[in-house]
Structure 1
Amino acid sequence: MARKPSNRSRIEQLTDKWEPTIQAAFLDAVRDITARAELGQIVTRLERGDIAGAIDAVHLDPAAYRTLEDAIAAAFKAGGNSQITSLPKLPSPAGGEFVVRFDARNLRAEQWLREHSSTLITRIGNDQQESIQRILTEGMIAGRNPRDTALEMIGRINRATGRREGGIIGLSGPQVEYVQTAREELSGGVQSELSNYLNRKRRDRRFDSYVNKAIKDGTPIPRDIINKMVGRYSDRLLELRAETIARTETMAALNESSLHAMQQAVDSGAVNADTVTKTWHTARDPRVRDSHARQDREAIGLNDVYSNGLAYPGDPNGSPMETANCRCWQEVRIDFTAALIEEELQRAGLA
């Protein structure tokens, strides 16, 4: 008989599958928005000084992120099913065994998914709208060409792929600032600022020769080259954002669903909640946060919170400083020693 995978390998298999799925879903949503943005309408509205109208023409519809919501829901369901299948046989008082299945349609499970997805999409949308409004407003105040401003926002079409690339759609607020500052560094012709650009880790190094030449000769970098350089930098930041969202959301979905799965087992009568423990595990490498390293292997009850105030690694109720890009995982299991003691006490009529 094949042995069940360890809890660690089980979680690793789930993350290996669902992180790329959620990442791709986020990038697909961004591509859908940029593909449907009406460039002509954006330019026309900007020419009229109508910032709100220009934003409307981008069509930042929450529905664009439905594939992301679906991917998170699928990861949640997979995590719950995996937790249930990892359980040993659970004997019932009648002499058989309990049959426990994870129900993603359970009221509490559905409520968590609905509220979590809504909060995530709202946060992404609000962050996006604020960044776009700031860029459009700054472009108008500076008297920049409306078409250039619009293209820097939604990206320019890559003739090879037919897709828009290099815009700021999908980036976080700080990332939008990085892109804007990078453009200023490349356009200003100031040697110290050009040198600053060369310190940006996500830049496309294939263009470094243009920067070095500008520093050495004092000649400006051609505008079309600057657009390409900033576009590639923006695309790489978008990849980073997608990776961060995928990792954070995958761990949240898997860890949350493991708790729901065990709680459903408790509700069915198959498991006593007092015999369930959850244990925090880190990746145990130099990249682990100090606060998380200190609580590695911390074990608590099913409904308790860890010493850092989180219900599980990646708990969305926690600060991004504690949850973003967290690679920790949670082991939820039955303490069979406690379970046997509980069973003996019940037989003796002492429980």
Structure 2
Amino acid sequence: MSFEELVQKFEPRVAAAFREAIDGIESAVVLKTIVEHLERGDIAGAVAAIQFEPEAFATLELALREAFNAGGVNFVQSLPSLVASDGTRVLFQFGVRNLEAERLIREQSSTLVANITEDQREALRIAFEAGLSQGKNPTGTALGVIGRINRVTGRREGGTIGLASRQVDFIVRARENLLSGDPALMKQYLDLKTRDKRFDRSVAKAIREGRAVHADMVGKMIGRLSDNNLKLRGEMIGLEETRTALFSVRDNAIHQQIDAGKLAAQDVTKKWKHSGSEHPRIQHIQMANQSVALDMPFTAPDGTLMMYPHDPKAPARHRIGCKCRLEYDIDYIAAGLRRYRARAA
């Protein structure tokens, strides 16, 4: 299985695991409890009542671990068996219980979940405060955050649970623009890539007539905008975290072979390969075919150092949405000769 086939297999699994966690949190929400907190002006209590806790993301962490382990096994299986001059065959293997491998995937998953839960509390605060400040009653504010139950699917829709705080800011601003009656602000909605285009005629009509979009219509539009942004967030988590896991485990798998004496670091070089994506990063295009030693970082034109694409230590501008690849070049002849000489000695 190629690297891209692994990505195609695990990206949707990780995205689905994120959505499963959000569905579980939403299903446990008690509307009455949240409304009671909001009636008292207790925003913190309303946020806490949603129980957005790390334990809810166990399935997401498991999906990442599965991608990590599959990536390590698949990578070593793609390496040809090394045959020394004396005919000795060396089999490359990946240890799923390797201490460094365990540390890498544990650190990645725990960091992801911590970031999601911490940011979510801020996102919920923003959403509750915005609802009340816009004149909604506590029940309307609560439903705007947790969503309304679809009688067909039994799932909540149109809420902001699961969205990042920046997405909630974006959605709050979109609502305000649609209700403003200001043609320039209302037109901004029509530029949103995650909008439901079925509402475009209603917005265009309101702009022509010089009025705000009706509040009930805005509620439906914002609900669809929220759902689309939640789907987008799941997809981005799937892309970013799956690729981070696969690149980090490939690096770990190579080092496992070195630690076992089957290869030497000097036998391995790595090359940055640009993805040719629809919206490429200019800096990553410039990095294409940059080749460095195994334990040396790649250098972006802005000076950023990265051990591989989606390096967790790299800034977001180099990671989010990146689809670049990495190739390893291994000097099997040198490795074979070294093993032969070692045995002869």
Q: What TM-score do you get using the length of structure 2 for normalisation?
A: 0.92
1:115 equivalenced with 2:115 (yes/no): no
Cα distance, 1:94 vs structure 2: 7.9
Q: Which amino acid aligns with 2:174?
A: A
Task: Report the CA distance between 1:344 and its aligned residue.
Answer: 7.3
Q: Which one of 156, 161, 175 corresponds to residue 183 of structure 1?
A: 175
Q: Which amino acid aligns with 2:244?
A: A
Listed one character per residue, the Cα deviations across residues 161-194 of structure 1 (whole Å, up to 9, x for unaligned) are 1111111122222211111111111222222222
Using the alignment, how far apart are the partners of 1:25 and 1:259 within structure 2? 25
Of 335-344 and 167-176, more deviation after overlay is shown by 335-344
Alignment of 1:27-46 (within 5 A): 27-46=19-38
SS of 1:270 mapped into structure 2: coil
Q: Does the Cα contact within 8 Å between 1:49 and 1:140 map onto a contact in 2?
A: no
- The 2-side partners of 1:89 and 1:198 are apart by 57
Equivalence for 1:335: 331
- Answer yes or no: is the 8 Å Cα contact 1:22–1:246 preserved in 2: yes
| 1:340 CA drift (Å) | 5.2
Return the offset for 1:141: 4.7
Paired residue for 2:309?
Answer: 313
Q: Give the conservation status (yes or no) of the 8 Å contact 2:85–2:336.
A: no
Contact kept? 1:55, 1:129, Cα under 8 Å: yes
Asked if structure 2 preserves the Cα contact closer than 8 Å seen for 1:259 and 1:332, the reply is no
Deviations 1:16-43 (A, max 9, x none): 1111111111111111111212211111
Unpaired runs of at least 5, structure 1:
none
Does residue 65 (structure 1) correspond to residue 61 (structure 2)? The answer is: no
Residues 1:145 and 2:131 are matched in the alignment: no
CA contact (8 A) 2:94 2:256 kept: yes
Q: Amino acid of the residue matched to residue 231 of structure 1?
A: G
Whether 1:192 aligns to 2:188 is no
1:324 partnered with 2:316: no
8 A contact 1:92–1:270 mirrored in 2? no
Map of 1:292 onto structure 2: 284
Higher mean C-alpha displacement, 190-199 vs 37-46: 190-199
Q: Distance in 1 between matches of 2:35 and 2:288?
A: 54
Q: Which runs of 5+ in 2 are unaligned?
A: none
Report the alpha carbon displacement of residue 233 of structure 1 after superposing the two structures with TM.
Answer: 0.9
Q: Distance in 2 between matches of 1:93 and 1:29?
A: 54
Aligned partner letter, 1:42? I
The offset of 1:151, in angstroms, is 1.2
Which stretch of the first structure deviates more once superposed, 297-306 or 118-127? 297-306
Q: Equivalent residues in 2 for 1:267-286 (5 A)?
A: 267-285=259-277
The reply to whether residue 253 of structure 1 matches residue 245 of structure 2 is yes
Match of 1:304 among 281, 296, 301: 296
Q: Does 1:159 align with 2:151?
A: yes
Give 3-state SS (helix, strand or coil) of 1:294's partner: helix
Name the amino acid aligned to 2:53: D
Q: How many Å apart are 1:15 and its aligned residue?
A: 0.9
What secondary structure, in the 3-state scheme, does the structure 2 residue paired with 1:278 have?
A: strand
> Does the 8 A contact of 1:282 with 1:328 survive in 2?
yes
Rounded to whole Å, the distance in 2 between the matches of 1:328 and 1:221 is: 42
Return the alpha-carbon distance in structure 2 between the equivalents of residues 286 and 226 of structure 1.
32
Supply the distance in 1 between the matched residues of 2:53 and 2:85 (Cα, whole angstroms): 53
Among 36, 39, 42, the residue aligned to 1:47: 39
RMSD across aligned positions (CA): 2.1
Deviates more, 1:204-213 or 1:312-321: 204-213
Q: 1:240, 1:321 → 2: CA distance?
A: 18
CA deviations over 1:45-88 (Å, ceiling 9, x no partner): 11011112111110101111111111111111111011110111
72-81 vs 259-268, which deviates more? Answer: 259-268
Q: What amino acid maps onto 2:262 in structure 1?
A: A
Give the Cα separation in 2 of the matches to 1:12 and 1:140. Answer: 46
Deviation at 1:345, TM superposition (A): 6.7
How far apart in 1 are the matches of 2:156 and 2:236? 22
The alpha-carbon deviation at position 348 of structure 1 amounts to 8.9
Q: After superposition, give the CA deviation of every residue in 1:112-147 in whole Å (9 maximum; x if it has no partner).
A: 111111111111111111111122234445553111
Give the superposition deviation at 1:213. Answer: 2.1
1:255-283 Cα distance to aligned partner (Å, 9 max, x none): 11111111111122222221012221111
Identity of aligned residues (%): 41
Q: Could you tell me whether the CA contact under 8 Å between 1:152 and 1:166 is conserved in 2?
A: yes
- Alpha-carbon distance in structure 2 between the residues aligned to 1:13 and 1:142: 47
CA distance in 1, matches of 2:251, 2:49: 42
In 2, the alpha carbon distance for the partners of 1:95 and 1:215 equals 79
Match of 2:222 in 1: 230
